[in-house]
Amino acid sequence: MNIVAFKHFDFDDEYAFRTWAGLRGHRLEVRDPSAGINEEWMHDLDLLIICGGPMSVYEEDRYPWLIREKQFVQQAMQLGKKVLGICFGAQMIAELLGSPVHGNEYKEIGWHVIHRTEERHSWLAGLPEEFTSFQWHGDTFALPEDTQLLAYSEACKVQAFAYGEHVLGLQFHLETTPACMETMFEHWSSELIEAPYIQTAEQIRRRFELSGQSHKALHLILDQISMSR
């Protein structure tokens, strides 16, 4: 597969994606959409991954390059390309499908339990009915029309959703590494306040071993994506 991943902040760690692509013999190109988007990327594209980011999808005035990124993602979906959105990426997909993104009642930061729904989708085959994943987000959205709700958490009603057979949005971060989390603590320490679903840096550190399990789960999802038509 030819894979393009949109990366939205410099210390986001693509280790989990690069490891999987290397093991499976896929070609992965990591691109910064704020530096410009080349229409030629679409020609050989098999999978588009939209990674997380500290910005919000509705901040086009502050980040005007979002307009072009959204156009590219919309075109990819219309052409039937495989699209995987993570956190910010899932929110972008939701907005493009007509569901406005807004601040959630609660921010989720840290390790939180994800519950799968009874809806089934081939890309999540093999994942347990409950699992724990790292989270860092304050925005959310209602389930877009004509999509399947695949997972939820206590604080966030839409943790995973699918649009047809070729588009998946995940609100949670299976890909994050402990090194990336440590840099998040440094850059975004002001967000680590006392709140119902925000854990301290030390609480998050105590469960760093969950990162390895999360990468295995992400690789399962990517395997299913690569095998799907």
Strand partners of residue 101: 141
Please state the three-class secondary structure of the chain as a single string: CEEEEECCCCCCCCHHHHHHHHHHCCEEEEECHHHCCCHHHHCCCCEEEECCCCCCCCCCCCCCHHHHHHHHHHHHHHCCCEEEEECHHHHHHHHHCCCCEEEEEEEEEEEEEEEECCCCCHHHCCCCCEEEEEEEEEEEECCCCCCEEEEECCCCCCCEEEECCCEEEECCECCCCHHHHHHHHHHCHHHCCCECCECCHHHHHCCCCHHHHHHHHHHHHHHHHHHCC
- Among all residues, which ones are annotated catalytic? 87, 173, 175
Burial-class residue 58 by CB neighbours within 10 Å (0-12, 13-18, 19+).
Answer: middle
The tokens describing 15, both together, are 């280790």
